[in-house]
A = this chain, B = another copy of it.
Amino acid sequence: MTNTQVTLVQLDNYGPWTVTPEPRREVDLQTLQSRLYADLSQLVGNRDGYVFFTRFDNMVAVTNGLDMEDHARLQESVRNRYPVTVSLGIGHGETPAGALVEATDRLQSAGSAQDAERREVLAGHPLDEDERTDDDVQIAHFDVNDATGEYTDELDAYSAFVHVEQAYASLMRHMHDTHDSLSFFVGGDNIIAVCPSLDRDAYAEAIDYVREDTGVDLKVGVGRGPAAHDAGMAAKHALEVCREEGLDIAGDAV
């Protein structure tokens, strides 16, 4: 059984800020958003967590191993270096989707994302150290079979992108609705899904679903560990096994 700790990172009152007093230059917003994401990746990653950019103004992080002080420091670091602040909601539970529901509840109880008075909320409770186990996190790393040969080198760049994006939209919805998992596009043809304890059949079924829905063939490596980094690195190695041995699914965890 997994016990995923999830943190919702929400920029405070960001939408209004982007158009006040008038719309801000798009390239500056893109730079701000992607650098803030990069910084959070390093801050959380330094403690073996993962952050996903999601919608940029709402980012989802897997934070097993980060305590309240780590979260507070992250808020402080953003406040000290950016023109925006972040609120954090923390949840945990047997499924990543459930943990994020809890994390979201914590923030929503404190006020609207566009409430000018709601700033730097830090709500929810991380896992106690003694609740943690060595297999709290399960991560599945999907990619597209022969993406370079089938798409990147064959189609124009946008048509290739459309295929990847349709596959992602299909997989993310399916894994959420059917398997209580949170899936994130991480660049190239890669999708990382944070999952509960799913078995091989669940992954096979998801790959079939996406193939039928979009025509795109995926494969997946699955890993397990006490935190996102460990589980994610095991998943990457499992995906390498898929590549080398021509498998659709690999990983010790399944």
Contact = CB atoms under 8 A, between A and B. Distances in A.
Nearest to A85: B83
A242 to B, nearest CB: 12
Interface residues of A, number: 90
Nearest to A39: B42
B153 A113 contact: yes
Interface in A213-254: 229, 232-233, 236-237, 239-240
A54 B157 contact: yes
Number of copies: 4
Nearest to A181: B158
Contacts of A162: 172-173, 176
A165 B38 CA distance: 21
Contact of A104 (B18, B76, B157, B236): B157
Interface string A52-87: 011111101000000000000100110111110000
A19 B46 CA distance: 20
Given A26-B232, A39-B42, A188-B15, A32 B81 contact: yes
B157 A58 contact: yes
